[in-house]
Amino acid sequence: MSEIPIHIRHCILYEFQLGNNAITAARNICAALGEGAVADRTCGDWFKRFREGDISLEDRPKSGRPLESDIERLKVLIEDNPRLTTRELSAILGCNQSTMDRHLHEMGKVNKLDTWVPHQLTSNNIQQIVTGDEKWVLYVNHTRKHQWINSEDLPEPEPKNDLHPKKLMLSI
């Protein structure tokens, strides 16, 4: 834990032992350490804890799930089956789907679409594949639809293309 919160907690305990209330303590601490050093609510929470008899200045244990074990388990699940969805992973690990998505991104994982092939290709199949494509390319291609104009102006209309534009077949 940083030294500053511990120092502020010592100041809160001192104010509590002097018999001040939480708001007065917060104002005194802010006057000494600077505006915004501690909130009234924070002093109130610590005063409540001190009144219960707990004068330790350490944080109480948090009630969340252990993060490291979830990440390790997530890595194992992804290695076993990389096709699991975030919904399935969140159901298995018992946490939120957006948390699962965040953990996957922190691990450097991205969701990519598979390419479908009807069967496993051998090296002979791959050598026999002929790749090529044909595409009509227009000579005149003025089809920009976005215009940078002032917010109060209307965009200029774009006339419709000719019915039979000049074009060329590009074959690869």
Domain range annotation of the chain? 3-51, 67-106
Q: Which CATH number fits domain 3-51: 3.40.50.740, 1.10.10.1450, 3.40.50.720, 3.30.930.10?
A: 1.10.10.1450
Specify the pLDDT at position 142: 64
Over residues 81-121, the pLDDT tens digits come to 888 899 999 899 888 888 888 899 888 888 887 777 677 77
Over residues 53-79, the pLDDT tens digits come to 988 888 887 766 556 668 888 889 988
Over residues 4-22, the pLDDT tens digits come to 788 999 999 999 999 999 9
Specify the pLDDT at position 23: 93
How does DSSP classify residue 168? E
Confidence band for 170, pLDDT divided at 50, 70 and 90: confident
What letter represents residue 9's amino acid? R
What letter represents residue 95's amino acid? C
Specify the pLDDT at position 65: 58
Cα–Cα dist 11/25, whole Å: 8
Task: Tell me the β-bridge partners of 170.
Answer: 135
Residue 154, pLDDT above cutoff 90: no
What letter represents residue 156's amino acid? E
Specify the pLDDT at position 22: 92
Query: What percent of the chain lies above the pLDDT cut of 90?
Result: 26
Residue 3, pLDDT above cutoff 70: no
- The upper half-sphere exposure of residue 46, i.e. CA atoms within 13 Å in the direction of its Cβ, equals 29
Query: Are the C-beta atoms of residues 105 and 80 closer than 8 Å to each other?
Result: no
Cα–Cα dist 71/100, whole Å: 9
